[in-house]
Amino acid sequence: MSVAVAVDDGVGHEARPSASEAGPATKRIVVSYGFWIFLLSDIVMFSAFFAAYAVLAQATAGGPSGVQLFHQRSVAIETGCLLASSYSCGLMSLAIGSRRYGITYLDALVTFVLGAAFLVLELREFAGMIAVGAGPQRSAFLSAFFTLVGCHGLHVTAGLVWLVVMMAQVAIKGFRPTVERRLLCFSLFWHALDIVWVWLFTVVYLMGVRS
Amino acid sequence: MRYRVLAVVLIGAATLGGCTEGVLDPKGPIAAAEREILLNALGIMLAIVIPVILATLGVAFWFRASNERARYRPDFAYSGRLEMLVWSIPAMTVFLVGGVAWVGSHDLSPRKPIASSVKPLRVQVAALDWKWLFIYPDQGVASVNRLVLPVGTPVSLELTSSGVMNSFFVPQLGSQIYTMAGMVTRLHLQADHAGTYRGFSAQFSGAGFSDMYFNADAVPDDKFTQWLDAARSAGPELDATSYAELAKPSAAVAPFTYRAVAPGLFDSITVSEMQSDDAMCRRNPTSMRAEK
Amino acid sequence: MSLLGKLDWSAIPFDQPIIMGASGGMILAVVSVLSWVTLKGYVPYLWREWITSVDHKRIGIMYTVLALVMLLRGFSDAILMRTQQAVAAGGSQGYLPPEHFDQIFSAHGTIMIFFMAMPFVIGMMNFVVPLQLGVRDMAFPTLNSVALGLTASGILLTNISLAVGEFSKAGWVAYPPLSGLQFSPGVGVDYYLWALQISGVGTLMTGINFVTTILKTRAPGMSYMRMPVFCWTSLAANLLIVAAFPVLTATFAMLLLDRYLGFHFFTIGGQGNPMMYVNLFWIWGHPEVYILVLPAFGIFSEVVSTFSGKPLFGYRSMVAATMAICVLSFVVWLHHFFTMGASANVNGFFGVMTMVIAVPTGVKVFNWLFTLYGGRIRFTVPILWSIGFMVTFVIGGMTGVLMAVPPADFQLHNSLFLIAHFHNVIIGGTVFGVMAGYNYWFPKAFGFQLDERWGKISFWCWLIGFYIAFMPLYGLGLMGMTRRMQHYDVASWQPWLVVAACGVAVILAGIVSQIIQLVVSIRNREHLKVTADPWDGRTLEWATASPPPAWNFAVLPQVTDVDAFWKKKQRERVQAQPASERKFEPIEVPKNSATGFVTAFFAVITGFALIWHIWWMAGVGAIGIFVTVLAFAFRDEEEIEIPAEQVARFEREHEAEIAV
């Protein structure tokens, strides 16, 4: 939506003293701002799952606890993959800015592969836990664990799907403003998932094996 | 003091014949203290609310457009002094009532035992679908849908539920408290006058909820002892088997007593494994649609 | 696994005459309307101008229509409850068995809060906020349409439950363990959960849309302190939506996982924690009531200042009070369950905080009073609703503060005193507010005003009916009557319940009067025609034509003051430039899109399928939504251009009435 901004009442046009009086912001700002608000709301949702996890962390119902279940090595590799994918995503953003298609596709591919590796490792972890009878139906603690970590995993999956769609958009439409704005939103999303993972990793895996 | 009178007059007017058998007709120290807090707080609030309502109606009427005598002041949009007043009146009221709330929360906390020279009576309460089980652990009897209490004796209640959440409530004696499966809540009450007081569940618990009421009978000490003796002399025994039978869904159960209680039964009710699935699973009567 | 999951013929309540009658009536009404619309040839018009519209004005009107229809549905539940309780005394079971009554009170609360009050305030905000901000539309117009669609999906699912299956019997709050699979094995709670999850996504989209619009798109010169107060309250309400609804989404997701996959968040076994549900639910639930009431406060601010002919008293204070309420609403949630057994310190803290939030609310009441003071008050229908609100709401607020004292709450929690309190503030606050807004902005939306006489009749019926229906409930609560009772044994309660039922009849007269008002106004619309500014308004929405063109403003207004339009009117009387001499540019407006409608369609399919465990159908629905989003993402054109000549023509035609 573009707006025709015009002074119409004969008052002389001065430099606007403050940003809040500058009139409607550009589409790029509006879209990324709105997406930030969405990300904040998503973080609130994660907080609710974090709170549930914190409340239920000791509710093992006689079953296994985190100490017995978590494989720190696998989790460390997952973390490395996700952090690295954030880096490649950043490179992708730079490539988009310089309008370099080849590098964009390459960095997108790397991001995708790293994200997929993260998911594969996480799914293996889940399958392993279920195989030893430590599935989400075993206890409230495990329900909370699977939901919190699984919710993050679902977001990563959605992100990978989105990435593929975005590359299709780049291929078909090129770097037009709409596509660029959406790629900006994607990278915000991807980095936010990384931040949530750091928090999750700390609370669930690091703190969970301390006691 | 003025406010209390005002409050009592207004509540009296509002409830007319309803002053008996409710919150405003306390029969014990907890309920009496809570009523006093309610009326005091109401009085303080009414002192603000009634003038505001009258002022609203008065101002609206006086400044109607057709009133030539009212002075139109289109620039009256700000006044520092009025703002001070407007923020401080609610703030001070809230300060006052907030103090009542803070002190009252501590004085009347359900967990706080009632100060008394009389040794408290212990009662363990289990909310079932849809009836109440009262266990007297020190006396070794139990009662369903009837709570008999000696007058003047503080009662120390431990409460739980066999399944869904309920809320134990006898308005004329005092506070209600939720009953929840797998945990024990605490409540302290006392009846200072003999009589029969209505008790019920105040948290919706399903199809039989409306029938989940009981009588709390406050009786003199000798009558209480008589009742205990009568309970011990007849009736079934309460153990794991008879409890499982009792816990099956039923409503409008006529009061009866158990002459003995297996030791540790209440503790086993609060522990989750006690609840068997088929006792808890609802089966609708066949006259209604069967649930999937 | 059967092809239709749990669904079979036993889902239709053939043996329950009242439900069959109600469902039949509902289906008949829907089919009649759809047939009439089709036979009259309105479908292409409706598709083009309304269903695929992404215009905030159209969307706002559609939200309001949904709300009004659901008001009828929720109110009929109220009639059933009040009449049942009026007769079911002593040994009588009344005419509604518990299985039915329990669904009715659950549906009543769910519908009135989620599908009447929320759409009504969202509809008001949608129509008005961009106009008041002096811009052309919301920040994300297509998202707006999707949000509307998802709300409609939730509504449709809830209404389907009347005819196919059953609704939840666990109350509008659905506490576990009662709402868990063990105690509610039927589909009722699933209908509740999926309908609210789907519409909850829509509401969250609305929140993001409004926060972005208000913070990032305002007319030039409109700094924060020059925004109309309705925009401030809308901002606060939508910040609350963004911060609170995700908690509800998470909480319902946990309950759904318990019910569908055997998780143990809230179950009795597996060390689940039902108390946690109560906490999480009310962490959302308390901000929710402020989401409902803050926009109403904003409407009253606009109406009171307009019809007093004065600026709102204490603008800065009102803004501060609004934002204070916004923040404080997150630290009071425990007052919904003082009786759950928390310690005295915890109960005391939340009791005190609940009272603190009464301070900014009280400040607002005083400021409205001082706005009326020194005014020249015109007693139109909107101001009647506002004055009715000021009197009624303070009573409800007072009883709220009373219950914020934990020891008092120990005796009043879950009683009819509580019911009376929250209806007092929701009806006196939100409902009166949206009724005022509806009468106030109707002429702007449609170009003709609503009949004043029937409007006044409806107001008085609502006001008097409300008091007759709910004041007895305060008394009943004090007498010890608890809520949600299908029958009762205390005979002395019955006279009061009969009085309350009579009150409902008076409110019904009020609602019928509003229907008559609408019909009469439409019939009489030529005589009731208005110009841009029928009320001598103060804010920018009155600077456009009635109804405004798709683009709202040919040229975005330059704002130099609060009450932007009022100041402009004073200036315009001195200098005005005729429309024929002004230069107009072509305007780009967002293109219509079927995305909202199609997404809603697939959302209903997905929701219904999940409720009945028809997994293949759920997959189809989910893929459908995904494909719809893809189609939107890959569309070529996003905007259409309105040629400059069209803009110029419109401005010339309406020159006399528009002051921009």
**What pLDDT, in 10s, does the model give residues A158-195?**
999 999 999 999 999 999 999 999 999 999 999 999 99
In whole angstroms, give the CA distance from residue C323 to residue C296. 15
Any chain A CB within 8 A of the CB of C272? Answer: yes
Residue C656 has pLDDT above 90, yes or no: no
Q: Which member of B11, B48, B74 has the closest CB to residue C310?
A: B74
Q: Which two tokens stand for residue C184?
A: 């509610």
In whole angstroms, give the CA distance from residue C604 to residue B189. 52
Residue C556 has pLDDT above 80, yes or no: yes
Task: Residue A164: list chain C partners with CB under 8 A.
Answer: none
Give the mean pLDDT of C246-258: 98
Q: Over chain C, what is the mean pLDDT?
A: 95
Read off the pLDDT band of A208 (50, 70, 90). Answer: confident
Read off the pLDDT band of B280 (50, 70, 90). Answer: very low
Any chain C CB within 8 A of the CB of A147? Answer: yes
Give the pLDDT of residue C618.
Answer: 97
Give the mean pLDDT of B68-88: 92
Chain C residue nearest residue A10, CA to CA = C575
Residue B281 has pLDDT above 70, yes or no: no
Q: What is the DSSP string of C510-578?
A: HHHHHHHHHHHHHHTTTTTB--S-TT---SGGGGS-SSPPTTS-SSPPPP-SSSHHHHHHHHHTT----
Contacts of A122 (CB under 8 A, 6+ apart): A78, A149, A153
Task: Residue C318: list chain B partners with CB under 8 A.
Answer: none
Give the pLDDT of residue C277.
Answer: 98
Give the pLDDT of residue C578.
Answer: 61
Give the mean pLDDT of C77-100: 95
b/e per residue C51-77 (b: at least 16 CB within 10 A): bbbbbbbbbbbbbbebbbbbbebbbbb
Q: What is the DSSP string of C165-179?
A: S---SSTTTT-TTTT
Residue C219 near residue C137, CB atoms below 8 Å: no
In whole angstroms, give the CA distance from residue B99 to residue B80. 28
Backbone phi and psi for residue C173, each to the nearest 5 degrees, phi listed first: -95, -20
Strands (E), C420-496: none
Give the mean pLDDT of B95-123: 95
Give the pLDDT of residue A209.
Answer: 73
Give the pLDDT of residue A67.
Answer: 87
Whether the CA torsion C230, C234, C240, C241 is positive or negative: it is: positive
Contact: A21, C634; criterion CB under 8 Å? no
Residue C86 has pLDDT above 60, yes or no: yes
Q: Hey, what's the torsion of the CAs at A186, A187, A190, A196, to 10 degrees?
A: -120
Any chain A CB within 8 A of the CB of C254? Answer: yes
Q: Which two tokens stand for residue C652?
A: 């010339």
Q: Which member of C186, C355, C407 has the closest CB to residue B98?
A: C355
Give the pLDDT of residue A18.
Answer: 78
Contact: C141, A2; criterion CB under 8 Å? no
Chain A residue nearest residue C262, CA to CA = A137
Give the pLDDT of residue A19.
Answer: 80
Read off the pLDDT band of C579 (50, 70, 90). Answer: low
Give the pLDDT of residue B289.
Answer: 26
Backbone phi and psi for residue B269, each to the nearest 5 degrees, phi listed first: -65, -40
Contact: C166, B167; criterion CB under 8 Å? no
Q: Which member of A3, A9, A37 has the closest CB to residue C136?
A: A3
Name which of C94, C84, C255 is nearest C168 in CA terms.
C255
Q: Model confidence over C520-535: pLDDT tens digits? A: 999 999 999 998 999 9
Q: What string of H, E and C letters represents the secondary structure of C585-637?
A: CCEEEECCCCHHHHHHHHHHHHHHHHHCCCHHHHHHHHHHHHHHHHHHHCCCC
| Best residue of C208, C562, C573 to probe chain A, by most A CBs closer than 10 Å | C208
Residue C1 has pLDDT above 80, yes or no: no
Read off the pLDDT band of A1 (50, 70, 90). Answer: very low
Closest Cα of chain C to A109: distance in Å? Answer: 21
Any chain A CB within 8 A of the CB of C375? Answer: no
Region of poorest pLDDT, from B249-253, C212-216, C560-564: C560-564
Give the pLDDT of residue C318.
Answer: 96
- DSSP β-ladder status, B121-128 and B154-161: parallel
Residue B272 has pLDDT above 80, yes or no: no
Percent of residues, chain C, with pLDDT higher than 70 = 98
Q: Which member of B60, B209, B282 has the closest CB to residue C484?
A: B209
Q: Is the whole-model pTM more than 0.90? A: yes
Percent of residues, chain B, with pLDDT higher than 70 = 86
Contact: C374, B106; criterion CB under 8 Å? no
The amino acid at C12: I
Residue A15 has pLDDT above 70, yes or no: no
In whole angstroms, give the CA distance from residue C443 to residue C532. 9
Read off the pLDDT band of A6 (50, 70, 90). Answer: very low
Sequence length of chain A is: 211
Number of Cβ within a 10 Å radius of residue C48? 11
Give the pLDDT of residue A3.
Answer: 42
Q: What string of H, E and C letters represents the secondary structure of C331-362?
A: CCHHHHHHHHCCCHHHHHHHHHHHHHCHHHHH
Task: Residue A19: list chain C partners with CB under 8 A.
Answer: none
Read off the pLDDT band of C572 (50, 70, 90). Answer: low
Contacts of C44 (CB under 8 A, 6+ apart): none
Give the pLDDT of residue B275.
Answer: 37
Helices (H), chain B: 2-15, 29-62, 80-107, 221-233, 240-246, 265-270, 277-280
Name which of C436, C399, C426 is nearest C128 in CA terms.
C436
Farthest CA pair distance, chain B: 86
Closest Cα of chain B to C488: distance in Å? Answer: 6
Q: Model confidence over A112-167: pLDDT tens digits? A: 999 999 999 999 999 999 999 999 999 999 999 999 999 999 999 999 999 999 99
Give the mean pLDDT of A50-74: 92
